[in-house]
């Protein structure tokens, strides 16, 4: 690696370069509850554009993306390495766990996709900006993380997507082109809403259910079963994520030792 090529430039360069980086280990921390912001942002327009230069609505998919193979089939770009996996991190930003996970990723030169909740960005703007500043990607994970999102009225779906998109973009300058439904709850109506909002629906291949705090060993064991081509799910928000953080300290170098490479999910609006 040329000495003038920074880590951030490597991450932004896409899977070919970011995936080639090698990994190593990190530290621990005491959990602190995340304050929920109460200040209401300005209401979003009924159908705002993500950015002035956003493309036309995408074609609705029948199913969300689950694997890197699905991803590249839907979103053209350089082929992912055969030994690639992608790390995605949901429900933040969190004032304690997001910075700790960012430092861990930085230590191991691992790119990740952070699926952000709009009302968690509210009040934690500096943390959200640090994710983008460190070269990571961002996805839209709704405004308020409602359960059973797929069954909500169409107007509620639109509000959840557009309000989160507006807050993420106003805060970070990053207009997500990927959308993840809370809990992986999908319906034809929600897939259409994502397409109208100019976002591609994204799921995952491997879920360690770390949000339920099953224990460090359980999370670690599930993530270590990852295979090439999979999209891994973890969480930095929604409560005490000390178990997730401890598991990732083991999992990241262990997967690297097996020859797996972490790649960036590189699609974003211009």
Longest dimension (CA), the chain: 53
Beta-ladder partners of 67: 230
Q: Which of 108, 136, 145, 235 is catalytic?
A: 235
Beta-ladder partners of 252: none
Query: What are the angstrom distances between the C-alpha of 208 and each of 125, 165, 187, 211, 227?
Result: 28, 27, 23, 8, 14
Active site residue 90: yes
Which residue in this structure is represented by tokens 């994204």? 202
Distance CA 226, CA 228 (A): 7
Q: Which of 90, 91, 203, 236 is catalytic?
A: 90
Distance CA 201, CA 190 (A): 9
Active site residue 106: no
Residues catalogued as catalytic: 90, 235
């Amino acid at each position: 690696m040329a000495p003038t090529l920074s880590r951030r430039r490597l991450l932004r360069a896409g899977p070919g370069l970011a995936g080639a980086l090698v990994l190593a280990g990190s530290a621990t921390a005491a959990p602190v509850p995340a304050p929920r912001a109460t200040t209401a942002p300005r209401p979003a327009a009924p159908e705002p554009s993500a950015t002035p230069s956003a493309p036309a609505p995408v074609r609705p998919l029948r199913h969300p993306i689950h694997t890197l193979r699905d991803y590249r089939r839907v979103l053209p770009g350089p082929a992912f390495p055969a030994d690639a996996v992608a790390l995605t991190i949901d429900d933040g930003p969190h004032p304690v766990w997001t910075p700790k996970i960012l430092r861990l990723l930085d230590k191991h030169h691992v790119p990740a996709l952070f699926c952000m909740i709009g009302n968690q960005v509210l009040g934690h703007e500096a943390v959200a900006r640090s994710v983008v500043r460190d070269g990571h990607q961002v996805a839209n994970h709704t405004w308020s993380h409602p359960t059973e999102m797929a069954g909500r009225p169409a107007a509620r779906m639109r509000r959840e997507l557009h309000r989160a998109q507006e807050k993420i973009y106003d805060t970070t300058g990053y207009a997500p082109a990927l959308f993840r439904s809370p809990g992986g709850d999908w319906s034809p109506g929600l897939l259409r809403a994502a397409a109208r909002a100019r976002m591609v629906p994204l799921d995952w291949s491997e879920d360690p259910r770390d949000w339920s705090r099953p224990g460090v060993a359980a999370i670690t064991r599930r993530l270590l079963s990852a295979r090439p081509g999979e999209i891994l799910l973890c969480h930095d928000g929604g409560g005490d994520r000390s178990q997730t953080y401890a598991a990732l300290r083991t999992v990241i170098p262990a997967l690297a030792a097996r020859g797996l490479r972490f790649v960036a999910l590189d699609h974003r609006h211009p």
